[in-house]
């Protein structure tokens, strides 16, 4: 299970952070500032810490991905039917992670509501579904199938 969580964390985390950096650059913003913003979630002083804050942002990002991957792996472990439909399960999980992050986590920490702009919603949903949910579900499904074969 730890191998599954590790692989899912690395893949989904890397895909998501590359996309976040690309979107940040597309809008003419500084990726290091975006990473400091991520770090400032659990550690507000990180917003003013320069490159150390950016490095902390990368660590926070991957920690969040590990939580997401671990939660899915734990849930899927007792629901082996999810291994038969990893893409559909990943889409559902991606939407769920989007809702949790944007309706609970971010507003609780920053007091900011979800951006009502359709492009912002679409961009976030793409990242959560295609870059996070589906990769995590596919990796977990492979692990579930491998465990079923070895039993």
Length of the chain: 151
In percent, the amount of the chain with pLDDT more than 90 equals 63
Q: Span 39-62, mean pLDDT? A: 91
- Cβ(61)–Cβ(1) under 8 Å? no
Cβ neighbour number for residue 37 with a 10 Å cutoff: 18
Tell me the backbone φ, ψ of residue 146, rounded to 5 degrees. Answer: -65, -40
pLDDT for the residue 22: 97
pTM of this prediction exceeds 0.95: no
Please give the full DSSP string across 105-121, using - where no structure is assigned.
Answer: IHHHHH-PPPP--HHHH
pLDDT for the residue 148: 55
pLDDT over 80 at 112, yes or no: no
N-terminal to C-terminal alpha carbon distance within the chain: 15
Task: Give per-residue pLDDT as tens, 62-109.
Answer: 999 999 999 999 988 888 788 889 999 999 999 999 999 988 888 888
Residue at token pair 């660590």 = 59
Q: Span 124-144, mean pLDDT? A: 94
103 three-class SS: helix
């Amino acid at each position: 299970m730890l191998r599954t969580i590790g692989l899912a964390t690395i893949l989904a985390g890397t895909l998501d952070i590359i996309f976040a950096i690309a979107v940040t650059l597309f809008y003419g913003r500084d990726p290091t500032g975006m990473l400091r913003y991520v770090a400032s979630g659990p550690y507000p002083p990180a917003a003013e810490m320069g490159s150390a804050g950016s490095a902390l942002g990368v660590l926070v990002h991957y920690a969040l991905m590990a939580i997401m991957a671990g939660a899915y792996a734990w849930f899927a472990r007792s629901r082996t039917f999810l291994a038969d439909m990893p893409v559909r399960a990943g889409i559902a999980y991606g939407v769920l992670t989007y809702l949790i992050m944007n309706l609970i986590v971010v507003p609780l920490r920053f007091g900011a509501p979800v951006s009502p702009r359709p492009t912002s919603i679409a961009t976030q949903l793409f990242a959560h579904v295609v870059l996070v949910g589906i990769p995590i579900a596919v990796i977990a499904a492979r692990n579930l199938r491998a465990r079923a074969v070895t039993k």
